[in-house]
Amino acid sequence: MSDAGNGHKLWGGRFAGGPAPELEAVNRSITVDIRLWPHDVRLSQAWARGLVTAGVYDRAECDAVVAGLERVAARLGAGEQPIAADEDIHTMIDRLLHLEAGTPAGRLHTGRSRNDQVATATRLWTLAAIDRIDGLVRRLQETMLAQAEALQDAVMPAYTHLQRAQPVSAAHWMLSHGWPLVRDRARLADARRRVAVLPLGSGAIAGSAFPIPREQLAADLGFLAISPNSIDAVGDRDFVAEVLFVLTTLGMHLSRLAEDLILYGSSEFGFVRFGDAFSTGSSMMPQKRNPDALELARGAGARVLGDLVALLATIKGLPSGYNKDLQEDKRTLFDAVDGLELLLPAVAGSVATLTFQRERMAAACSSAMMATDLADYLVRKRVTFRESHGAVGRLVREAEEAGVEMTALPFSSFAAAHPAFEEDVLEELQATTSLRHRDIAGGTGPVAVAAQIEAMRTAIASPSGG
């Protein structure tokens, strides 16, 4: 088969005629998989070295192919475009290698199939993507940590059912969005170990018929283990599904952070002001300051979830071994990774440039939010929680009916609600008092939050993010 023009195919000898243009169009994946090229080149170089051990190449042939692949990489790096007949990146690299290295190139595919090749290249790409995403999540965590450190003495309402519940340190709220990212990074690190399993040497499905040293290939390419079953190895895309799940969860966390910030940035809350560099205006309403990056983060969570669902649905009904449906794996994986690589820096920038309106946050801590503290006050005076809950409930209703804060009620109201109330009860209606009572580990008390900040710093610095 000639290498010039459209003639270079990795298959076709058994057919009398060429494929229909409609088949070629639907089969062609190079627009998606061209970005696998650095990994495909690397694994091909490792394969060439393995072919020496297997007795297929002599040293000189192997050197010629490895150097030829280096020149292919240079061409691809310089933007070499595929020709119409390049079905996928593996075909394109093989064609270019024939141009660069001549005859020895024709032996490179010995004992190898695109089935184990694409699984290997996709795993290598995924390993690199995991490391990039991990770095971006870490940068976002560092931004959150810096904000949390500055917010330790700011109080704000914490919400349940989106109703004001209890006062918390604003640092505690900020860190509540940092811990999910610690878990995401731990999940990413855990998934990484399962991605780093080498399929190469599995051939099309039954294993290579040439004694390629697979352990050496694995070490050469940075894999931690070799796949134990060739049928499983070529049809397994669990690693893509697993990474997509981790990314979906990460996307969901970014979405929830974004939702909090979008709410808190509204005039109704007024807790935060979005930085100029991360706000957009309206073409009609001059006063608008819109948090587009955060809204896109919320929206993108749905897209990554779609990628995960699409992949799981693709895999679910497949018979064992490689099936062409699996070509779709890269579309979902690349889409999710691309999306998060765009979003994570935008979310980090949005968080870094927030201004917190401390007075608004403190003013939102209305005295009714200290109702639990009042009940706890009575409990400390040996009243049962059930009885104190009822007494405080009556006070809350009295303030509500009078349309005043509980702090504005006369002491006689407290005394009437329960005889155990003493004059010092007003102190319990301060948000800062409420916080001070909560220095339990994991709570919002100032000492606990300071410890939490240190724990977060340690977690961020740990290589597995947790």
**Site residues (CB under 6 A) for ligand ARG?**
29, 33, 88, 114-115, 118, 322, 324, 326-327
Report d(CA 210, CA 338) in Å as an integer. 38
Q: Please, which residues have CB within 8 angstroms of residue 229's CB and are 6 or more apart in sequence?
A: none
CB of 162 to ligand ARG, least distance (A): 45
Please tell me the distance from the alpha carbon of residue 429 to that of residue 412, in angstroms, as a whole number.
Answer: 16
Beta strands 225-226 and 272-273, pairing class? unpaired
Q: Which is nearer to ligand ARG, 208 or 434 (CB)?
A: 208
Let me know: does 465 contact 188? Beta carbons within 8 Å: yes
CB of 203 to ligand ARG, least distance (A): 11
Length of the chain: 466
Nearest distance from C-beta of residue 122 to ligand ARG, angstroms: 8
Nearer to ligand ARG, 36 or 48 (CB): 36
Let me know if 282 is a catalytic residue.
yes
The nearest distance, CB 10 to ligand ARG, in angstroms, is 9
Work out the number of other CB atoms within 10 angstroms of the CB of residue 162: 7
Indicate the residue among 92 and 347 with the shorter CB distance to ligand ARG.
92
Q: Where do the DSSP E strands lie in 370-449?
A: none
Cβ of residue 91: shortest distance to ligand ARG, in angstroms?
8
- Residue with smaller CB distance to ligand ARG, 113 or 350: 113
Catalytic residue among 176, 202, 253, 282: 282
CA 230/CA 236 separation, integer angstroms: 10
The neighbour count for residue 303, using CB atoms within 10 Å, is: 15
**Closest by CA position to 239, among listed 130, 105, 340, 322:** 130
Among the listed residues 161, 267, 283, 412, the single catalytic one is 161
Q: Which is nearer to ligand ARG, 108 or 155 (CB)?
A: 108
Pairing between β-strand 155-160 and β-strand 197-198 as defined by DSSP bridges: unpaired
- Is residue 162 within 8 Å of residue 442, measured between CB atoms? no
* Residues labelled catalytic: 161, 282
